[in-house]
Amino acid sequence: MKKRWLQALITCVVVSSFIATPVMAAPEDEVSASREKVNASKEKVNASEEKVDTLEQQKKQAEAQASGVNAELVALLVDIDALKQDMETQQGRITQAETDLDKAKADEEKQYEDMKLRIKYMYEEGDMSFFETIADSKSYTDLVNRAEYVQNVHDYDRHMLDEYVKTKNEVKDLKTELESQQAEMEDMAKEMESQKSNLEGTLTQMRSQIADFDSQLAQAKEEAAEQLAELTRQSEALAKAEEAARNEAAAAAAASKPDAGSSNKPSSGSDSKPSQGDSSGTSSKPSQGDSSGDSSKPDAGKEEDSKPSTPGNACLGQKIANKGLQYVGNKYVFGGNSLTNGIDCSGFVQQIHKQFGISVPRSSGAQRTGGKAVKYSEMLPGDVVCYSGHVGIYIGNNTIVHASNSAPYPKGGIKTTSPANYKTVLAVRRYW
């Protein structure tokens, strides 16, 4: 009897296990599948957010580059306007020089004709020759006076003729120099127009890239929004599946309570711990790390960059000016860096300062924005005087020393020019 009862009990336990197994299998499979979908969606959302962040960063970089190119273009347009103004002024000087040259030639020719006419009257008037005029003198004193008068007239004519010829040659040389400077300005204008076209093309290309970034960003944000919505739906489905699984587990535990009194404890423990782990595993640590990772370093860098540079003294500026004068007469070479074998205007300024341990940018445009701004009325020897596409070093007495065009010295090369504002002065900068 006891053996039958034991067999019946074993049979009930086995049958009850077969009944409970199908009930638990379906919810657990559904929860596991939902979790896999949620994790996959999370990865997609994270990838989409990273893509959006990357595109936004690339767009900001492109906008910063475009802003820099735009600023460079604006500065170039200022140079072009100043150069056009200088060319108009230079053309007026050339026109005046041509007028002065024509006048000098006319004065020379008139003086020459007047001299010939006086010679004719003195030596060839009537039938009386010069020697007859001398012989007709009434006394030695009269003879000396007549000879002295003739000599004085001759000396006066020769002196005036020499003066007119000198004036004519000076005006002619001035006109040649002005025309050489005008040709240099025209070449500079062509180069600036080429730079302008290149900058405009670059700016157009960058704006197109920015517009493309906007399009990509809009698409990426739309995809991220769709994936986030899908993740939300899957999270809600997972929550429902977990709740259903918990309900089924509770029902199964309640049904099996008479047979296995403590079977519900392990199931409840296994259900609650993983869910807590999932809910807290990706909470807020990454976002906190991102927010604190690069918080104050850029500001500290800006504070260091904003420290004012310590200016030098007038004695050092005078030494810079004197050093520049030591190379007067050496030749000009575009792009050159040798003070003895050839150098251009910005290279000359850079190399002179370099001899005193002072760092100066290489291009004339960069030199115009570097150093310390100085008023034109307050500039001192050693200051850098900046024009449209050109720079020089002020040496005092309203004069600069600079590397000019490729013409032989003194027309070109390293030379001095006065006044310092012979062209429009765009800025005066001090590096010492």
* Between residues 86 and 27, the one the model is more confident about: 86
Residues 6+ apart with CB under 8 A from 136: 128
For the cut 80, the answer to whether the pLDDT of residue 289 exceeds it is: no
Measured CA distances, 190 to 177, 184, 186, 197, 409 (Å) = 20, 10, 6, 11, 25
Q: What is the pLDDT of residue 307?
A: 44
Q: Of 241, 258, 275, which marks where a domain is finished? A: 258
Residue 30 lies in a domain: yes
Could you tell me the CATH number of the domain that includes residue 132? Answer: 1.10.287
Kindly state whether residues 222 and 74 are assigned to the same domain.
yes
Residues 137 and 50 in one domain: yes
- What is the domain range of residue 136? 2-258
Taking the complete model, does pTM exceed 0.85, yes or no? no
Average pLDDT in the chain: 75
Would you name the residues annotated as active-site residues?
A: 345, 390, 402
Q: Can you tell me the distance from the alpha carbon of 65 to that of 45, in angstroms, rounded to the nearest whole number?
A: 30
CATH of the domain at 374: 3.90.1720.10
32/300: higher pLDDT: 32
My answer on whether 229 and 334 are in the same domain is no
Half-sphere exposure of 173 (CA within 13 A, CB side): 8
Q: How confident is the model at residue 312 (pLDDT cuts 50, 70, 90)?
A: low
Taking the CB of residue 99, how many other CB atoms lie within 10 A of it?
11
Q: What percent of the chain has pLDDT over 90?
A: 19
Tell whether 253 and 319 lie within a shared domain. Answer: no
The phi, psi pair for 429, rounded to 5°, reads -120, 145
Q: Could you tell me what percent of the chain has a pLDDT over 70?
A: 72
Mean of pLDDT values over 286-303: 39
**Predicted pLDDT at 242:** 77
Is the same domain home to 246 and 387? Answer: no
Q: Which of 21-30, 31-40, 340-349, 364-373 has the lowest mean pLDDT?
A: 21-30
Within-domain flag for 27: yes
Regarding whether 82 and 201 lie in a shared domain, the answer is yes
Whether residue 248 is found in the same domain as residue 322 = no
Lowest mean pLDDT among 35-39, 47-51, 124-128, 394-398: 124-128
Count of domains in the chain? 2
Give the angle subtended at the CA of 369 by the CAs of 366 and 375, to the nearest 5°.
Answer: 140
252 and 319 part of one domain: no
Residues 124 and 194 in one domain: yes
Tell me if 271 is assigned to some domain: no
Averaged pLDDT for residues 280-299:
38
Evaluate whether residue 103 is within a structural domain. Answer: yes
Pair (325, 230) in one structural domain: no
**Span 287-305, average pLDDT:** 39
- Read off the pLDDT of residues 127-156 as tens digits, 9 standing for 90 and up: 444 555 556 655 556 556 656 666 777 777
- Determine the average pLDDT of the residues in 75-83: 84
Dist CA 228 CA 233 (whole Å): 9
Residue 97 lies in a domain: yes
Pair (336, 230) in one structural domain: no
Answer yes or no: is 279 within a domain: no
Contacts of 259 (CB under 8 A, 6+ apart): 12, 13, 16
pLDDT of 399 reads 94
pLDDT at 317: 93
Residue 365 lies in a domain: yes
d(CA 74, CA 375): 22
The answer to the question of residue 308 being in a domain is no
Does residue 160 carry a pLDDT above 80? no
Q: Are residues 7 and 73 in the same domain?
A: yes
| For residue 279, pLDDT beyond 80 | no
